[in-house]
Amino acid sequence: MTGIRDGVAAGVVWSPSLLEYRHSADHPMSPRRLDLTMSLATELGVLQGVDLIDPGSATDEELLRVHTSRYIDSVKAAGGLPPGEHVGMSHGLGTADNPTFPGMHEASAAVAGGTLAAARAIADGVATRAVSVAGGMHHAMPAAAAGFCVYNDAAVAISWLLDNGYDRVAYVDIDVHHGDGVQTAFYEDPRVLTVSLHQHPATLWPSTGWASETGVGRAEGMSVNLAYLPAVTDPLWLRGFHAVVPGLLRAFEPQIIVLQAGCDSHREDPLADLSLSVDGHRRSYLDVVALADEICEGRLIAIGGGGYELVRVVPRSWTHLIGAVLGVPVDPDTVVPESWRTMAGRLTVPDRVPQSMSDGEIPEYTPWEPAGADRGVEIDRSLARLDQSILDTRRSVFPLHGLDPDDPRD
């Protein structure tokens, strides 16, 4: 079920059944983005020698780890309604974000099954890392669909891991939207560290993910949120990531990391306002893989999430993700195969089809230091605002992990 690359056993979860998750013909979360990703990864040779892991389907019992029985029954019923009908059902179904579609339960259970299959492959020792780009439905709540998400595959898989040999799981969410559903699922569970890096909740749905949301009871400090104001670029985003994520992961010492790699933080994404490049995405994936290698013997589950520029962004970003997980990073200067460009050109204006695997950016950053302005160092307003957001997050949670929020070495 896996391929051995650079001494690491890694698996890729995939089946055409995952293309059945399709709310409507014009819905932003089109399965074409998955099809184009897997086609690009295949044509570039990233998947060479890798036997794909079949996602199977999450059972009702497995979904009940996170979701209520009444909600699951409602999803099954929704799958029997006319496609795309906005019927105003309960449980967040039949809305503009989550219109009904035939086979809604079966398609959603396959997505959850894919992330579970990745978790099982690692728990069984078959793989050290695994990736399922169809996963990442991080907004789904216990009794409601939300934000294009029906079943919360990440929360289901984390719950399964907690019952199968793991008692410290770190969830890192780099989607532009707050990972609210996963945070909710484990807000009182000290065994799960959830870290979400997202666009500021005052400027983007779901309007949650403030630094003050830190968990409750014994789990206080286990929910971590870093918010970015609109227009943040690769250097600023990476500055924030490295000011928060590595120190917390090293302090928590997870046995496995779950990475939600939504790529809707890209500057061309139509639904959000950050300004990252595919080069910045690639750097973030490699940084998380390196942290997994350092902290938890490489154990990593990577899943997809948001990303709504279907041709120029998602296929390249997630091909970089697959390459990073498999231990065969794709060179940014790699030319996109002409055959793939021809296929993708049927879905957009031909001159918008990307020529290479890079946006031409160099994703470097300046490490964070506190209170630069207080020392008379002049910095621009965007950097000052980011640094204040970093400090808010660090001061909210770092002391709870025995870390000094004002010491950049922590």
Q: How many helices (H) and strands (E) does the chain have?
A: 11, 8
Identity of the amino acid at 333: D
For residue 102, give both structure tokens: 């035939």
**C-alpha to C-alpha distance for 193 and 187, rounded to whole angstroms:** 9
First-to-final CA distance of the chain: 39
Q: Following CA atoms 238, 240, 244, 250 in sequence, which dihedral angle do they give, to the nearest 10 degrees? A: 10
- Give the dihedral sign, CA 211/217/220/222: negative
Cβ proximity of 385 and 395 under 8 Å: no
- Strands 129-132 and 223-228, bridge-based pairing: unpaired
23 vs 102, 173, 273, 282, CA distance in Å? Answer: 9, 23, 24, 29
271 exposure class (CB count in 10 Å sphere: 0-12, 13-18, 19+): middle
Respond yes or no: is residue 178 known to be catalytic.
Answer: no
Q: At what angle do helices 278-295 and 234-252 cross, to 10 degrees?
A: 10
Q: Following CA atoms 361, 367, 373, 378 in sequence, which dihedral angle do they give, to the nearest 10 degrees? A: -40
Q: Could you say which of 67, 91, 105, 139 is catalytic?
A: 139
- Count of CB atoms within 10 A of residue 353's CB? 18
State residue 11 phi and psi, 5-degree precision.
Answer: -125, 155
For residue 335, give both structure tokens: 């030319």
**Residues classed as catalytic:** 139
